[in-house]
Amino acid sequence: MSKGAEMSADRTDPSIRHLLDSEEIRRLIADYAFHMDMNHPKELADLFVEDCEVIYGPGFGAKGRAEYAKTLEGIGTFFEATSHHVSNIVIDFVSDVEARSRTVVWAWHRYRKERPDGHLWGQYHDVFVRVNGRWLFKRRELRTTGVKDFHVKIMHPIGRS
């Protein structure tokens, strides 16, 4: 969304503002997947606020952007390729500068080591904040629906009844 679109959004009524914000948030979610699959650790970290929190599983996550950037260092050498498919995105606005969302993800992983491709089916539960006119991740939590041939064994469950 261009700067012009951003500015005109501020003049419009709340419903249109939410439509424009939702587009930007969906783009942020897509950009995360893109930079993960492209192995762009710097661009990934830049999608998060300084005091972010990332929770991938029990004992696996980060507090703050600097710590998060460190967790990304290994992805280039560990995976031959990954493909993160995000869909089923549902967004709720807490205020004009804070939103929450639930996203379904399927992440396909091809390892550099000789082993079968790893699959993860899960949900991202996110908190976004709008800083200087730009939506960023404040908190990202992965909950896992199931895995197959995946290198991580202990995950936060989705809490299926």
Residues forming contacts to its own copies in the complex (CB under 8 A) are 1-2, 4-6, 8-9, 11-16, 18-20, 22-23, 27, 29-31, 33-34, 37-40, 76, 80-90, 93, 102, 104, 106, 108, 110, 117, 121-122, 145-146, 148, 158-161
Closer residue to its own copies, CB minimum distance, 51 or 92: 92
Whose Cβ is closer to its own copies: residue 19's or residue 66's? 19
140 and 123 Cβ atoms separated by less than 8 Å: no
Cα distance between residue 97 and residue 58, in whole Å = 29
Give the strand pairing for 118-131 and 134-148. antiparallel
* Nearest of 140, 110, 118 to residue 44 by alpha carbon: 140
Secondary structure letter of residue 44 according to DSSP: H
Between 64 and 158, CB nearer to its own copies: 158
Closest distance between its own copies and the C-beta of residue 63, in Å? 26
- 44, 38 Cβ separation under 8 angstroms: no
Nearer to its own copies (CB atom), residue 34 or residue 56 = 34
